[in-house]
Structure 1
Amino acid sequence: MFTLLSRIFIKEDQLSMVEIREKYGVLCSILSIIANFICVAFKLVFGTFVHSSAIIADGYNNLSDAASNIASLTGFKLAGKKPDAHHPYGHGRYEYLTGLFISALIIYVGATCLIESSLKIINPVKLNFSIPALIALCVSIMIKLWMYTFNTKAGHIISSETLLATGRDSLNDVITTFGSMVALVGSCFTTFPLDGLIGVLLSLFVMKSGWDILRDMIDNLLGKVPDKEEINAITKTLMNYDGIYGVHDMMIHDYGPGRRYLIVHLEIDSESDMLEAHDLIDSIEKDISEKFQIFTTIHMDPIQLHDPLTNRLKDQVEQIIAKIDERYSIHDFRIVKGTHTKLIFDVLLPDHNGSEKEIDKKIKTEISHIDDAYECVIAYDYAYY
């Protein structure tokens, strides 16, 4: 059904990627709002009828889900706004802010249900088993499974953390509703406050899920490490171009889904024709932007490839660096010849451990063993991926 609706309402061949994201987000949000209100009606009515705190708590959880879907709808509409004078990088991070709201709401509902369920353990209330209530819960599970399916599918299509979070929340609801069913059926066989106990366990599960989503959204807003597979794919693509001899200082800035920016340095032959090299860089920027859906800016680093002394010294320095730590690497190596020849290069360190002074001392000591007339000018970089 979702595939049919998406074909009707989303004409992908006529829209930009940002517009496609907005269309999918709006469609999923509206469908989720409708489905959640149906679940709320079922659970509150039948939960009250059978005196089940687990079912009533589950119903309020679905009500909070509907509120979060409304927030998602608003978030996708705001995220789809075009860049303006005050927000040149667009409004894509509204989607992450929406995710924060959803996660906070999930945690709040879980905490509320935890208190109510704990009181049910202290002061148990006998449940009234009802076949219609059981059927209502089964229907709710089927609705939530459908919601999980289409939100997750759409989330992967448009790489939306918000829709994937909504999908995970729907799967959580399937588990909590099943727990409510167990409590309802179990009431026929025991006087133990099973309803309250299951309510407590489900509340903790819901809160844990909300915390996981909150942590992911905070990571997105702070700027998390890019996906390693994507970094490797971009690096491999860049190195496949003729005339490119090295890739370094790669950074990806995330301003929200569909609003990512790549900055990278590429090494070229210093003896290349500058106009031809500039044309190559322009074409690479365009190719990477289209292939990976990321705005790309490339800095061009000329390196000496045909000077024997430069090549020999670079090999020696690379051996020294590998001896200190095989994880380290160098780039932008060049020399300035004179009475005291300068070796100028950058060292890439794997982590921010604050040990540059110690490493610097080791490198310069080892290079002085080659020739104490060499002077080193070393800059230290860190990987952002």
Structure 2
Amino acid sequence: MKTFALWFASFFVPNHTLTANPDVRARYGVLEGWVSIVGNTLLFAVKLAIGLAVGSAALMADAIHTLSDSATSAVVIVGFKMSRKPSDSEHPFGHGRIEPVATLIIAILLFVAGFELLKHSITATLHPTVSKAGVVAIVIVTGTALAKELMARFSFALGDLIDSATLKADALHHRSDAFSTLLVVVALGASHLGYTQVDGIMGIGVSLVIFASAWGIAREAVNPLIGEAPSQVFLDEIEGACRSVTDVLGVHDIVVHNYGENRIVSLHIEVSHTLSALAIHEIAEDVEESVGRITQGMVVVHMDPINRDHPHYDTVLTEVQKVVAQDERVLTFHDLRIVGASLDRGTILFNITLNNNDRPTDHREVLRETRDKIQARFPGLDLLIKITPMFSYNP
């Protein structure tokens, strides 16, 4: 289907192979929306006509479900067009997050449609009517289910091509409609055999399918709006880009902000304290350029001069490593610095990263225990230990 989708898009989307281009990406979204609207409108007319003719509550409910697909596809079109609006004084980060907002609207519309269908189907179950569906009508309705599955696969293919959660959400909407139509086919067949209540029961089943689809779509839409974690692969690429720059000793505190097509990345780089301010500035610019090629966004670099030539650095490093390794709540540490020339007087500074899979609720307890263990090893030194926040990632 992806090959067909790419071929079909070639007739409507200029430069259709440049799927990373924001304008091309938006055109793909608009194309999917219009194809869905046209297809859904035709299928709605067919289902409604047969539903009225045979008196099937489940089929008429399914027809409304199909019509709601057209409404959500219209939201897809508006969402993609608005997401391409440039930055302005009120929205300096652009309008890229309108796309997940559009996805959330799709989910809300689905919830509303599912609730209305549920009420209608309960009434049909309590007060059943005899459906007059014949074999021809059942075959036609089955054909509409196959048509919706093809539309779902087409939308999934376009969604994969441009990596769009919105198009995949619309595809799930199509697929839920196809599944609900198959339930209707069962209801029509049962009613044809004299089991009149099956029609309303299957209508309830259709509404439950819609609720399930709406919940899944809403969950996918909310994540980028709240601020979801970047993938480990993406973080590894950032780390690799940083370490590819000469004189970079380490990287930590990677923070990623996504605003649709606009992405902002900030990070800390460790370098030798012996380098000049000019050399450190040049390293920062090299890191920004290297990481920027991967992220395609703005990169902000904070430089941490580290004195690994301190006469007691290796001794302190070894002891800190032992303490961290013994505590499962602590994942790693970074930015180790020693102020003062001796171990009798001075300060040890470093940050610890907690294990997010088993993150303790009382951070003060972790800090206290870590501080006590280090203090026991270096009683003459002061300690300044900080916990890295969850949104800041460390290799």
* Whole-angstrom CA distance in 1 between matches of 2:195 and 2:329: 65
Does the residue aligned with 1:8 lie in a helix, a strand or coil?
coil
User: Which residue of 1 is the match for residue 28 of structure 2?
Assistant: 24
Correspondence for 1:213 among 214, 217, 226 = 217
Q: CA deviation at 1:95?
A: 0.9
Contact 1:44-1:59 at 8 Å conserved across structures: yes
Percent identity reads 27
User: Which runs of structure 2 are paired with 1:194-343 in the superposition (5 Å)?
Assistant: 194-256=198-260, 258-325=261-328, 327-337=330-340, 340-343=345-348
User: Which runs of structure 2 are paired with 1:57-206 in the superposition (5 Å)?
Assistant: 57-206=61-210
Q: Which amino acid aligns with 2:274?
A: E
TM-score with structure 1 length normalisation?
0.93
Q: CA deviation at 1:64?
A: 0.9
Q: Which amino acid aligns with 1:383?
A: M
Spell out, residue by residue over 1:67-118, the C-alpha distance to the aligned partner (whole angstroms, 9 max, x if none).
Answer: 1111111111000111122211100111111111110111111111111111
Q: CA deviation at 1:149?
A: 1.5
* Whole-angstrom CA distance in 2 between matches of 1:311 and 1:104: 58
Correspondence for 1:348 among 344, 353, 357 = 353
Correspondence for 2:369 among 332, 355, 362 = 362
Contact 2:375-2:383 at 8 Å conserved across structures: no
Q: Aligned residues, how many?
A: 384
Contact 1:350-1:383 at 8 Å conserved across structures: no
Q: Which moved more, 1:40-49 or 1:224-233?
A: 224-233
The alpha-carbon distance between structure 1 residues 129 and 7, as it changes in their structure 2 partners (threshold 3 A), is same
Q: CA deviation at 1:39?
A: 1.0
* Whole-angstrom CA distance in 2 between matches of 1:238 and 1:83: 29
TM-score with structure 2 length normalisation?
0.90
Q: Which amino acid aligns with 1:362?
A: E
The alpha-carbon distance between structure 1 residues 14 and 4, as it changes in their structure 2 partners (threshold 3 A), is closer
* Whole-angstrom CA distance in 1 between matches of 2:323 and 2:77: 56
Q: CA deviation at 1:225?
A: 2.2
Q: CA deviation at 1:145?
A: 1.8
Moved over 4 A (4+): 12-16
The alpha-carbon distance between structure 1 residues 295 and 156, as it changes in their structure 2 partners (threshold 3 A), is farther
Q: Which moved more, 1:284-293 or 1:214-223?
A: 284-293
Please say if 1:52 is aligned against 2:56.
yes
* Whole-angstrom CA distance in 2 between matches of 1:234 and 1:187: 60
The alpha-carbon distance between structure 1 residues 98 and 187, as it changes in their structure 2 partners (threshold 3 A), is same
Q: CA deviation at 1:13?
A: 6.5
Spell out, residue by residue over 1:318-356, the C-alpha distance to the aligned partner (whole angstroms, 9 max, x if none).
Answer: 211222336432111111106621111111123464423
Spell out, residue by residue over 1:235-269, the C-alpha distance to the aligned partner (whole angstroms, 9 max, x if none).
Answer: 3443344433222111111222x222222212222
Q: CA deviation at 1:273?
A: 4.6
The alpha-carbon distance between structure 1 residues 148 and 128, as it changes in their structure 2 partners (threshold 3 A), is same
Contact 1:155-1:162 at 8 Å conserved across structures: yes
Q: Which moved more, 1:26-35 or 1:313-322?
A: 313-322
Structure 2, gaps ≥5 residues long: none
* Whole-angstrom CA distance in 1 between matches of 2:19 and 2:107: 30
* Whole-angstrom CA distance in 1 between matches of 2:299 and 2:160: 23
User: Which residue of 1 is the match for residue 379 of structure 2?
Assistant: 372
* Whole-angstrom CA distance in 2 between matches of 1:55 and 1:69: 21
* Whole-angstrom CA distance in 2 between matches of 1:141 and 1:279: 61
Q: CA deviation at 1:14?
A: 7.1
